Amino acid sequence: MVGSVARFLKLYPSAKLTTEPVSNATSFNCLIAGQWINVDKRNLTEPEKFLLSLMSQEDSSKAVQNNWWHFLTGKADDIPTINKNVRIIQFEIQKNETKQNAIEWLRVFKDTFDDVVDCFLISNNSGVLIETETTSCMDKESIQQMVQLLDSDFYTKSNLYIGQFWPVDEKLPNIFESERRLFKKSIEMRDRVNNLSTVILDFLVEQNLKNTDLFKSLRDKIEIDHKTTQMIDALYRCDSNLAKTSKMLFLHRNTLLYRIEKFYEQTGFDLKDRDDLILCFLLLK
């Protein structure tokens, strides 16, 4: 938990962490370190109400006039017509001085991607980019390098969460809700560009992710067979050591490498990467 959030909760013990602002007349919604905190006005003194009113923020995302946003947040039932898988990249621009700066940041950010479906702000310093799946899509490392250059040019500090590629269907809003929660969790982490593999273990400590559409859909998408299950289990138990894993599986090292590369081509998960390996190991459970 971010230190500033912890100090706020210590000052206001009745406050609650939420994934979204609470819409009612008896609540203050404060955004601290990327985390929404709800405080019941009825538990406050008048001086406390005055101070929190200065910090309170309305849910500006509800005023976003965008068809994709309405679909992803469940405010519209119409499913966008698109035959390709899409991934949603969420971002928060810290140290941003004005909304105009954020708009310019967003323009440059968008131009670095080749197949953008839509890209828009949902507040003065946060937004989403929706990208279709192609062979030219940037991986996490490439996006991380690009964001570092962008922040250097704009004197900002940005946090990103790179979603998985998903079909555009009725499950996507529920999956996006899970990815929004993962994004909020990722803001607390050291790395400023994260994805499911880097956030999953921290998040599972707090949430039962396996019952969500995101996790179920991911298991269906990967379709892990018996040989792959043995390989993932052995890599995990051998701490990613290829020599030990080859010996455990009675495989030549080159055969193991071939299977690892084939799995990467099919799923986008690199079993040589510790975070990807742990995620895939959890999918076996």
Structure confidence at residue 184 (pLDDT)? 87
How far, in Å, CA of 52 to CA of 48, rounded?
6
Query: Whole-model pTM above 0.85?
Result: no
DSSP three-state, residue 265: helix
- Scanning the chain, the segments in alpha helix (DSSP H) are 3-11, 46-55, 67-72, 99-111, 140-154, 172-186, 196-206, 213-222, 226-237, 242-249, 253-267, 274-283
Q: What are 170-190's pLDDT values in tens digits?
A: 999 999 999 998 998 888 877
Share of the chain above pLDDT 90, in %: 42
Query: What CATH class has 62-198?
Result: alpha beta
Token duo for residue 132: 């279709």
Using the predicted structure, report yes or no on whether residue 249 has a pLDDT greater than 70: yes
Number of residues written out for the chain: 285
Please state, in angstroms and as integers, the Cα–Cα distance from residue 189 to each residue in 36, 143, 192, 209, following that order.
16, 17, 7, 18
End-to-end CA distance of the chain: 27
What residue spans define the domains of the chain?
Answer: 3-58, 62-198, 223-283
**Domain boundaries 223-283, corresponding CATH code:** 1.10.10.2840
Structure confidence at residue 183 (pLDDT)? 92
Give the closest residue to 256 by CA, choosing from 234, 226, 239, 281. Answer: 234
Q: What are 48-93's pLDDT values in tens digits?
A: 877 777 666 555 545 677 899 999 988 888 899 899 999 999 999 9
Average pLDDT rounded to a whole number, residues 229-235: 91
Query: By the 8 A CB rule, do 251 and 242 touch?
Result: no
What own/partner pairs with CB < 8 Å and gap ≥ 24 does 43-46 have?
Answer: 43/14
